[in-house]
Amino acid sequence: MEQTPQNTSYNKLNLLANLFKEGRISISEIAQLTGRNEDQVTNAFIEKGLINPSVILVCGGAGFIGSNFIQHILEKYPYYKVINYDKLTYAGNLDNLRNTEKNPRYAFIQGDITDTEKLETVVRENNAKYIINFAAESHVGRSVMFRADEFVKTNVIGVHSILETAKRNPEHIKLYIQISTDETYGSLSLDDSRKFTEETCFAPNVPYAAAKGGGDLLCRAYSRSYNVPVIVTHCSNNYGPYQHPEKLMPNSLFRALRNQPIMLHGGGQHIRDWIYVQDHCEAIDSVLHKGKPGEVYNIGSDNEKSSLEIAKTILRILGKPESLITLVPDRPGNDLRYSINASKINRELGWSPKVNFEDGIKKTIQWYEHNMDWVERIRERDKEFSKYI
Ligand SMILES: NC(=O)c1ccc[n+]([C@@H]2O[C@H](COP(=O)([O-])OP(=O)(O)OC[C@H]3O[C@@H](n4cnc5c(N)ncnc54)[C@H](O)[C@@H]3O)[C@@H](O)[C@H]2O)c1
C-alpha cells in the first residue's frame, strides 16, 4: 500500500486500537498521540466495534429542559444512546421530541422515578452508565396554590429512589446528575450585592423549592455516606423552545399575541436571572464530561431582569402596547430576587453562557410563533388549563 499521510495515520490508529483493546492505553492518551480529539477517537472506535455507545438515562426528558437536553446530546455525540424515562404528567409532552423519536439511539419508557424497582430494571437491562434527572414537579405557583404532595413525592422521594438505584448498581452507574434550581437558596433584597454561591445555605420559601432542596440534600448525604457518584447543579430561570405555557415567559407571549392582558404579580418587580435553555444544556454537558462527583455547580447567565422588564421586552418585539400589562396582587412566598454566582463552573469546567438576552428572547418568540400548533395541542389536552393561556 502506498504510504500517504492518511494511511500512516490510519495504521497508527489501528495499532493504538489494539493497545486499547488490551487495556494498555486510554482514549485521551490516544487522542494526544494522534492529534485528534477524544470524540474523534471514540467515534472511530465505535465504528470498529471496540466501544459500545454509552447509555444515558434521562429522567423527565419529556419536559422543557429535558427534551432540549436530549436533542442536544443526540445531535452532538454520535456515541450516546438516550433512554427517556418519564411519567408523562401534565407537563410531560412527547410532542417535544417528534424530531427525535425515529433516532435509533433514542428510546422512551413511561415510568415514575419513585418506582425504584422499575428504575433498577431499566438501568440493568440497558446497562445505563449515566443518570441525569430533570423529572420534577416544577411549577412554583401550583406548589403554593394547591397541596404540595406531588412535589414531595417526586422531588424528594423520587430523588431518593434514583440514589438507591445508583447505590445498588455501581457496576452500571458511573455518574448521576441531579438538576436543581437556584430557588433552594431563598431570596435576596434588591440592593444586596451578594450572589448565591455553592456554599450559600438553603433557605427555601415555597414548597417547590423546599422539596427540591430535600432532594439535593439527599444527594449530598448519599455521596458522603455511600460514595454514590452524584453531582448537583443549581440553575437559574430558563427560557426557550418547548417550555410549558403555564410559565411566565411563554404565558406572557401567548397572551400578548392574543391581545390579552399579561398578568404580573406584585408590581412586576420580582427579579430572576434568565438563561437561554441551550446554554443550560451545554452547562450540563460540561458537568457530564468534566464534573467531579460529590461537587455542586451553580449555573447562571448574569442576566437579572424583573418580570416587568420581561413583559415590556416581549411587547416591544411583538409591536404591542404596554397597556396590556396588568399588575395583580402578589402570591404568597414569592421571592423578590435571585442572583447566581456561576464562577465555579466557569473556572473549573470552562463553561460560560453564549446567548445574550436580546438574541435569546427573539429566538424564543420566533420559535413559539412558528409552533403555535404545539401550543394548541396543549390547550386541547388540558381544557381547564387552556383558560389561562
Ligand atoms: N424551568 C426552569 O426555569 C428551571 C430552572 C432551574 C432548574 N429547573 C429544574 O430543571 C428540571 C426540569 O425543569 P423543567 O422546566 O424542564 O420541568 P417540566 O415541568 O417542563 O418537566 C418535568 C418533566 O418531569 C416529568 N415528571 C414529573 N414527575 C415525574 C415522575 N415522578 N417520574 C418521572 N417523570 C416525572 C414530567 O412528565 C415532565 O416531563 C426540574 O428539576 C426543575 O426543578 C428548572
- What average pLDDT does range 349-378 have in this prediction? 94
Measured in Å, residue 330 CA sits from the centre of ligand 1 at: 24
Query: Is any ligand 1 atom within 6 A of the Cβ of residue 135?
Result: yes
Pair 59, 173 in one domain: yes
Pair 38, 166 in one domain: no
Residues 261-313 pLDDT 10s: 999 998 899 999 999 999 999 999 999 999 999 999 999 999 999 999 999 99
Q: Which of 245-249, 276-280, 378-382 has the lowest mean pLDDT?
A: 378-382
Pair 99, 224 in one domain: yes
Query: Which position has the grid cell 480529539?
Result: 37
Active site residue 101: no
Pair 200, 282 in one domain: yes
Task: Please tell me the predicted confidence (pLDDT) of residue 132.
Answer: 98
**Between residues 47 and 248, which one has the greater pLDDT?**
248
Pair 25, 170 in one domain: no
Query: Is any ligand 1 atom within 6 A of the Cβ of residue 86?
Result: yes
Task: Please tell me the predicted confidence (pLDDT) of residue 381.
Answer: 85
Q: Which of 59, 65, 95 is the pocket-test mutation for ligand 1 (most atoms within 8 Å of CB)? A: 65
Pair 74, 162 in one domain: yes
Q: 51 and 76 in contact (C-beta within 8 Å)? A: no
Cα pseudo-dihedral 250, 255, 257, 259, rounded to 10: -160
Pair 29, 145 in one domain: no
pTM for the complete prediction?
A: 0.90
Task: Please tell me the predicted confidence (pLDDT) of residue 4.
Answer: 66
Interior angle at CA 12, CA 7 and CA 18, nearest 5: 130
Query: Is any ligand 1 atom within 6 A of the Cβ of residue 279?
Result: no
Task: Please tell me the predicted confidence (pLDDT) of residue 387.
Answer: 56
State the closest ligand 1 atom to the C-alpha of 133, by its place in the atom list counted from 1.
41
Which stretch, 106-115, 143-152, 323-332, has highest mean pLDDT?
106-115
State the closest ligand 1 atom to the C-alpha of 65, by its place in the atom list counted from 1.
16
The secondary structure of the chain in percent helix, strand, coil, rounded to multiples of 5, reads 50, 15, 35
Q: Over pLDDT 70: what percentage of the chain? A: 96
- What average pLDDT does range 198-213 have in this prediction? 96
Residues 145-164 pLDDT 10s: 888 999 999 999 999 999 99
Active site residue 282: no
Pair 199, 262 in one domain: yes
- What average pLDDT does range 172-188 have in this prediction? 97
Task: Please tell me the predicted confidence (pLDDT) of residue 6.
Answer: 64
Query: Is any ligand 1 atom within 6 A of the Cβ of residue 335?
Result: no
Range of the domain at 196: 54-386
Question: Does 4 map to a domain?
Answer: no
Cα pseudo-dihedral 170, 172, 175, 179, rounded to 10: -110
Question: Does 3 map to a domain?
Answer: no
Active site residue 182: yes
Question: Does 232 map to a domain?
Answer: yes
